Amino acid sequence: MSSALRIVNGKIYDPANNIDGEVRDICIQDGKIVESVPGDTPKIDAHGMVVMPGGVDIHSHIAGPKTNLARKFQPEDHRYDPHPGTEFTRSGAGGIVPSTFATGYRFATLGYTTVMEAAVPPLSARHVLEELEDTAILDKGYYVLMGNNSFLHRMLEKGRMEEFRNAVAWWLNASKAYTIKLVCPGGDEQWKGDKNATINQIDEKIHSFDITPRQVIKALIDTANDLGLPHPAHIHCNNLGHSGNYTTTLDTMRAAEGRKAHITHIQFNSYGGEPGKNPTSKAKEISDFINENPNISADVGQVMFGKSVSMTADAPLAWMLRHVKERKWINCDTECESGCGIIPFEYQQNVYTHTLQWAIGLELFLMAKDPWRMVLSTDHPNGGSFLNYPRLIRLLMDRDFRKQEAAAVNQKALLSTSLLDLDREYSLQEIAIVTRAAPARLLGLKHKGHLGVGADADITIYDEHENREEMFKTARYVLKDGHLFIKNHEFCADPVGRIYQVAPDYDKKIEDEIRPFFDEYYSVQFDNYPVFDTHVETEIVPTYPVQ
């Protein structure tokens, strides 16, 4: 493969550089986009095609202990969706939680080249990193769970904020993670320590600690900002999935007090109604707040009808879902750090709540004034597989299709929302924003999500098609770091992606405090806990600490 390439005649959608469908050339040299290449450079003729930066997924569950348990316990789901290998690629299993290599190939087929794994306890850092190494093609990183960390709870209890910040930085380094993840802060402590109880409001006391979720949320948002992480604290709010939870979501966003925070799969936290009763849509209230508060970003967590798996560090939520239908259920407690629950699920059009969730997600997309801060996700596989993205794109781009789909859903739920009144249709440029440019910018990945000079040459070329679902289902060409690996819809190479981490500075003295905590309460040795530098090759994304 030559290191230089020119893409000609394609319509370019590069929102970060304000290029909206212009026909122009893209030049590539040594894996980067450059100003020009010599005239005899090999060409890809993209006539009649759409050229976009490679897709960037800000929130998916693709690797690590929880994903692997979900994979392991659903042979019935892999069986009907085998993923054969080719001369260039490994084989694997598909279904709602594909095997690692298949996950990479399938994302790449959609034109995605960067995907972030959304939640892993630091104790399993080596596990997720090994799986990410085996996830084909993609650049990736992962968010490390910190919202139920006993050591951090103790620091917070004592008001030792300096030590809190140093400990967070130590944990990010030790686990080679990309940012801080909060899942239902305080909730797992209740679950593990108080016979499966849960926490609902962010001002309730956390079991056996003299602090509240609000304090944990505030402290971790501040710390992510102070450490200057490329992506802020990534928050799965308390009370997820429960009727009336939109007030918790608003409270959580207010706790940021103007500082940057990312609320993930916010659809699941936009419900009105009374606890225990049918939810209603509060998409407008949530949208209004985000529209007015530029420090907040979110991804939607769209629900798509069909198979899903609820897999979450929010263990009480999975237990609640198990009571909806008594199916097989996994729970996994992680010492001092987290909980986890997994349950197979299916979203059905005729079910009131499922339709409502579907409609709320679309409302959130269509009400967002700033698509740079409301980006596309299905919280794969929680809201549905990432393979639903093309269909979701069509729902956003094609009003008639949306209405046609809406005719088949639970009408009581549908009519309680404003979905049918929303006439907006996303443009290709806006799709390029919510699927690549904005996630890359929110992640602080400066070389991703755009096609300007100096960007990584991660490029996707789609045949233009009126049916946007067909168009986005399989890219005709995909390049990773300038390396063409999908050509005319077929894999022709199997490039290896990178793993991103952050490595913020911290005062090493904090290790003297963490070490005795490990000796008492962990089951592994303090010295064996940090991932060795020899274990995995990573690329460090710089942090810009606030002085």
What are the φ and ψ backbone dihedral angles of 409, each rounded to 5 degrees?
A: -100, 180
Question: Which of 40, 508, 509, 523 touches another protein (CB under 8 A)?
Answer: 523
Question: Which of 49, 237, 342, 455 touches another protein (CB under 8 A)?
Answer: 342
The one segment of 46-54, 281-289, 409-417, 531-539 that binds another protein by CB under 8 A: 531-539
First-to-last C-alpha distance (Å) of the chain? 46
Structure tokens at 420: 């049918």
CB of 156 to another protein, least distance (A): 16
CB of 316 to another protein, least distance (A): 11
User: Under the criterion CB under 8 A, does residue 534 sit at the interface with another protein?
Assistant: yes
User: Under the criterion CB under 8 A, does residue 36 sit at the interface with another protein?
Assistant: no
Q: How far is it, in rounded angstroms, from Cα 295 to Cα 182?
A: 17
User: Under the criterion CB under 8 A, does residue 193 sit at the interface with another protein?
Assistant: yes
User: Under the criterion CB under 8 A, does residue 112 sit at the interface with another protein?
Assistant: no
CB of 447 to another protein, least distance (A): 28
User: Under the criterion CB under 8 A, does residue 99 sit at the interface with another protein?
Assistant: yes
Question: Which of 3, 21, 34, 126 touches another protein (CB under 8 A)?
Answer: 126
User: Under the criterion CB under 8 A, does residue 78 sit at the interface with another protein?
Assistant: yes
CB of 44 to another protein, least distance (A): 28
* DSSP 8-state code for residue 126: H
60 beta partners? 117
Strand order in the sheet with 11-14: 19-23, 11-14, 49-53, 459-463, 477-480, 483-487, 490-491
User: Under the criterion CB under 8 A, does residue 404 sit at the interface with another protein?
Assistant: no
Length of the chain: 547
User: Under the criterion CB under 8 A, does residue 75 sit at the interface with another protein?
Assistant: yes
Residue ranges in 19-124 assigned as alpha helix (H): 65-72, 75-78, 100-109
Mention every residue, 6+ apart, whose C-beta is less than 8 A from residue 421: none
Tell which positions 297-336 bind another protein, by CB under 8 A.
319, 327-336
User: Under the criterion CB under 8 A, does residue 74 sit at the interface with another protein?
Assistant: yes
Side chain identity at 514, as an amino acid letter? I
The vertex-531 CA angle with 117 and 505, nearest 5°, equals 85
Residue ranges in 368-481 assigned as alpha helix (H): 389-397, 399-406, 411-415, 428-432, 438-443, 468-473
> Is residue 528 packed enough to be buried (19+ CB in 10 Å), middle (13-18) or exposed (0-12)?
exposed
Q: How far is it, in rounded angstroms, from Cα 307 to Cα 302?
A: 13
User: Under the criterion CB under 8 A, does residue 352 sit at the interface with another protein?
Assistant: no
User: Under the criterion CB under 8 A, does residue 176 sit at the interface with another protein?
Assistant: no
User: Under the criterion CB under 8 A, does residue 205 sit at the interface with another protein?
Assistant: no
Side chain identity at 516, as an amino acid letter? P
Q: For another protein, which is the closer residue by CB, 30 or 81?
A: 81
Question: Which of 10, 15, 55, 92 touches another protein (CB under 8 A)?
Answer: 92
The one segment of 29-37, 43-51, 82-90, 218-226 that binds another protein by CB under 8 A: 82-90
Check if the beta carbon of residue 144 is closer than 8 Å to that of residue 199. no
Q: For another protein, which is the closer residue by CB, 53 or 339?
A: 339
236 beta partners? 183
Q: Give me the 127-166 binding string for another protein, x by CB under 8 A, dash otherwise.
A: x--xx--x---------------x----------------
How do 500-501 and 539-540 pair as beta strands?
parallel
Residues that bind another protein (CB under 8 A): 63, 65, 68-69, 71-76, 78-79, 82-85, 90-93, 95, 97-101, 123-127, 130-131, 134, 150, 191-193, 195-196, 208, 319, 327-336, 342-343, 520-525, 527-528, 530, 532, 534-535
